[in-house]
Amino acid sequence: MTDSTKDRKERLADHLRKAILTLELMPGSDLDEVRLSERFELSRTPLREVFRDLAGEGYLSHRANRGVRVSDLSHTTLRAFFQAAPMIYGAVLQLAALNATVSQIEALKDVQARFVAALKGGTVAERSLANYRFHEITGEMSGNLYLLPSMQRLLIDHARIGMTFYRPQSPEMSDNLGTASHHHDAIIAAIEARDAGTAGRLAMDHWQLSRSQIESFVMPEGLDAQLGQFSEKLTA
């Protein structure tokens, strides 16, 4: 039995999301529409429907008469991210503590178990994707239609930056990974206890762990050079 067009579109969308989040597709890179069309056996119309949906989520951007590319990770976007992230994460976790369902809490615990396993023996990509999913669930828990699109966009860039965080290159960075995991456990406990105040404070503590990584991307020598160096490390 062959896959339906819907199934192939879903596989393509999942492939592109993971490739973008893990920097397999670097920020600003062009998509090869012909290759993707052949690989996923999709004609131009359904292919571009996937691109349109992912652009709406913040993964891709359209350029007039120049095709589709991966969303940039520039100084401008990172500065905006740096300003908005603590406020949005704090609001999301407070609302998550108030609105989370039992099934969502169980899903969060399952993802945390996957995150812990990835820290012990997983790849950098597995660690980053598990962390991404953990925070994506908290966004779903918030149940706020105004916050969710902003949270989704933040998580895309946070995951891409997190590819450096989850490849620790110093004892301090290794310690931070353990602290991040403990924060996750505390966040789950606060949400389960319906303690919005504690959940909000934990959001700020958790944010501080990532802050230095984000600052390292907003440097005078230029983001492009840093991304190029990091790409070399990933393929080394």
Distance between CA atoms of residues 97 and 90, nearest Å = 11
Distance from chain centroid for Cα 38: 27
Predicted model pTM? 0.84
pLDDT of residue 103: 98
State the CB neighbour count (10 A cutoff) for residue 136.
Answer: 17
Question: Partners of 63 in the beta sheet?
Answer: 67
Q: Return the SS3 of 201.
A: helix
Q: Which domains, ranges and CATH numbers included, belong to the chain?
A: 5-70 (1.10.10.10), 75-235 (1.20.120.530)
Q: Return the SS3 of 30.
A: strand
Alpha-carbon dihedral sign for residues 39, 42, 45, 50: negative
Map tokens 């012990």 to a residue.
120
Q: Return the SS3 of 60.
A: strand
pLDDT of residue 226: 47
Q: Return the SS3 of 62.
A: strand
First-to-last alpha carbon distance for the chain, in angstroms, is: 40
pLDDT in single tens digits along all 236 residues of the chain: 367 999 999 999 999 999 999 999 999 999 999 999 999 999 999 999 999 999 999 999 988 777 899 999 887 887 888 889 999 999 999 999 999 999 999 999 999 999 999 999 888 889 989 999 999 999 999 999 999 999 999 999 989 887 765 665 555 556 678 888 999 999 999 999 999 999 999 999 999 887 766 665 555 444 445 445 444 544 44
Q: At what angle do helices 124-142 and 102-121 cross, to 10 degrees?
A: 160
